[in-house]
Structure 1
């Protein structure tokens, strides 16, 4: 991930945590995909495989929203980025919960991701107060 970052942005705890979440969700998704990519006995695919892609997509969207909020000058536009971050975090959290019911050994790693999301939410709230 190579964004044109202002120098201070890479030092923000909320940004660093977002980057950790991206790496963790990609690793978990890769692990889950190996277990969920096989067809069921009736020839259908496991619908949980789509949620594993969703966690990657949603986690990848966290960092750009942080960047956009940091670079935005108008407070009403900053709030739109904050709301988007809240939605992404909530969706990511709920997709983790859904994947915990999947038929994969990788589901054991999802509580770790949910724990990181809780830490991210705390950092996000503190960061939002500073802008």
Structure 2
């Protein structure tokens, strides 16, 4: 008989917000991909398409970093993961700003993502005090 694997994920507010940010960024990215998938007149691809992938990649990394920080026993290890979360959040925010300067209808959804990132940062500050 095999032991049951525990797949316990925290139900903390910051973890839930990270999941919401991932879902939102994935949906926004899909919207942008349709606008940016066409080639430019000179046959090159639009450079902004890479920012759409970046927001998904950065947002998907938030939740695992939160888990890693919560599972660490030593504060030095926790600080490493907290710093990573801060870098990811800042990069995600910058990429949102870059995408807002594009000529796409999807940029109307980016203020929603930026607002959620601001909420995430507030949660992050409180969460860091509890670790």
- Structure 2 CA distance, aligned partners of 1:126 and 1:29? 29
The residue that corresponds to 2:46 in the other structure is 46
1:5, 1:67 within 8 Å by CA — same for their partners in 2? no
- Structure 2 CA distance, aligned partners of 1:24 and 1:100? 15
- Structure 2 CA distance, aligned partners of 1:55 and 1:61? 10
- Structure 2 CA distance, aligned partners of 1:94 and 1:126? 23
TM-score (norm 2): 0.93
The residue that corresponds to 1:120 in the other structure is 120
The residue that corresponds to 2:110 in the other structure is 110
Deviation, structure 1 residue 5: 4.7
Deviation, structure 1 residue 42: 1.3
1:96, 1:114 within 8 Å by CA — same for their partners in 2? yes
Q: For structure 1, which segment, 19-28 or 35-44, has the greater mean C-alpha deviation from structure 2 after superposition?
A: 35-44
CA RMSD of aligned residues (A): 1.0
- Structure 1 CA distance, aligned partners of 2:7 and 2:24? 22
Given the superposition, is the C-alpha separation of residues 5 and 69 from structure 1 closer, same or farther in structure 2, using an over 3 Å criterion?
farther
The number of equivalent residue pairs is 126
Among 5, 8, 13, the residue aligned to 1:6: 8
Deviation, structure 1 residue 6: 3.3
- Structure 2 CA distance, aligned partners of 1:24 and 1:5? 24
- Structure 1 CA distance, aligned partners of 2:76 and 2:8? 21
**Structure of larger gyration radius:** 2
Q: Which runs of 4+ in 1 moved over 6 A?
A: none
In structure 2, stretches of 5+ residues that fail to align are 1-5
Instruction: Give the 5 Å matches for 1:31-70.
Output: 31-70=31-70
TM-score (norm 1): 0.93
- Structure 1 CA distance, aligned partners of 2:89 and 2:16? 15
